[in-house]
Amino acid sequence: MTKLFTPATFGDLHLKNRVVMAPLTRNRANPADHAVTSLTVEYYSQRAGSGLIVTEGSQISPEGKGYAWTPGIYSEAQVAAWKAVTDAVHAKGGKIAIQLWHVGRISHTSLLDGQAPVAPSALTAASRTFDGSAFVATSEPRALETAEIARIVEDYRKAAANARRAGFDAVEIHGANGYLIDQFLRDTTNRRTDAYGGSQENRVRFLDEVVGAVVSEMGAGRTGIRLSPFSNANDVGIDSDTVGLFSKAIDVLNRHKLAFLHMVEGQTGGPRDWPVGALETLRDRFDGAYIANNGYTRAMAVEAVESGAAEAVAFGKLYISNPDLAERLAVDAPLNPLPTEGLYGGGADGYTDYPALEPADS
């Protein structure tokens, strides 16, 4: 059998195949309490054929919110709502991880009760966010005080504890796409002069503390992370020494013995390009399972896993319109086309109404 469709063990996670559902923001949480809904239960349970589902980014605190109608994992109502999701996925034999998210400066005051977003440094992103009515320029952030950072690390710990109570098999720390952890890592967005800025060793400190906090609750074998070293998503910029910086970041992950590294290869949602040998250097440095992501086709995924370039491949957009993507890929069946509407916000249309393959005649 093609290796992509065979079982795998990543840390303490035993997966039925190596097709991963990547996190996809769909903006369908309840606006009143930022909890997922019964539609979310249906959406994820439809996709339980993947080896591992990674949920949409879920903010670890109200301060971590960056877009309208995104879910949280910091309140009892949110924990209970997510528990219905994990129960439904498990009932269909699936495994599911929640992506823990703090957007940092990629937010707007209207989403934060009038407060400024927080960031390593008071540098405004040339980016936009959705406030519930329109796409608006992100607000000017304020730089976090050194004494505040422990509070945010604690928010990550609490979110991981909540994820465990909600029945998740794992958590994925969102360290990619220009959000808070990524902002701390790069010299383009981190101009701090305290213990969290300046040298690469200092700039990976926040990552180290967050990973340690999450592992303390979920265990290393059930913790992974997403990184995007070669992406300028959300105007984060490209670090002056990408390979050196992310080598140190991966050393942090190895010290904590994380189960998997989910890597966005190249520009997020864009070109798959990077300096010759750079991605391979980082991939080979990581001790755990490497999950490749960004524009993979079936043929590319099969080759990556067969060759040992990746232990698994994550698919994003294809999972929107193909709830049974893993099953379709296994038999090389045609795929439903990606829609142009219904991606963000709304109800069942464009969310849970895509057809699955007809069962084969017995």
Sign of the Cα pseudo-torsion (108, 117, 244, 171, in order): negative
Q: What are the strands, taking DSSP E only, across the chain?
A: 8-10, 13-15, 19-21, 52-59, 96-101, 118-119, 128-130, 135-137, 142-143, 170-174, 223-227, 260-264, 289-293, 312-315
User: Is residue 197 over pLDDT 60?
Assistant: yes
Q: Which residues contact 185 (CB under 8 A, 6 or more apart)?
A: 175, 203, 204, 207, 239, 245, 246, 249
Average pLDDT over all residues of the chain: 97
Longest dimension (CA), the chain: 68
Q: Could you tell me if 236 and 188 are in contact, meaning their C-beta atoms sit under 8 angstroms apart?
A: yes
For range 164-176, the mean pLDDT = 98
Known catalytic residues are 179
Does position 165 have pLDDT exceeding 90, yes or no? yes
Segment 1-11 shows an average pLDDT of 96
- Which pLDDT belongs to residue 362? 40
On the 0-12 / 13-18 / 19+ scale of CB atoms within 10 A, 229 is: buried
Mean pLDDT for 257-277 is 95
- Give pLDDT, residue 234: 98
Token pair belonging to 254: 């190895």
pLDDT of residue 144: 98
Confidence of residue 360 (pLDDT cuts 50, 70, 90): low
What is the predicted pLDDT for the residue at 1? 77
- Per-residue pLDDT tens digits for 121-145: 999 999 999 999 999 999 999 999 9
What per-residue confidence (pLDDT) applies to 340?
A: 81
Residue 225: the pLDDT is 99
Distance between CA atoms of residues 34 and 28, nearest Å: 9
For the ranges 34-38, 51-55, 303-307, 341-345, which has the lowest average pLDDT?
Answer: 341-345
Cα dihedral: 352, 134, 338, 48 (round 10):
-40
The pLDDT, as a whole number, for residue 295 is 95
Q: Is the pLDDT of residue 202 over 90?
A: yes
In whole angstroms, what is the distance from residue 195 CA to residue 198 CA? Answer: 8
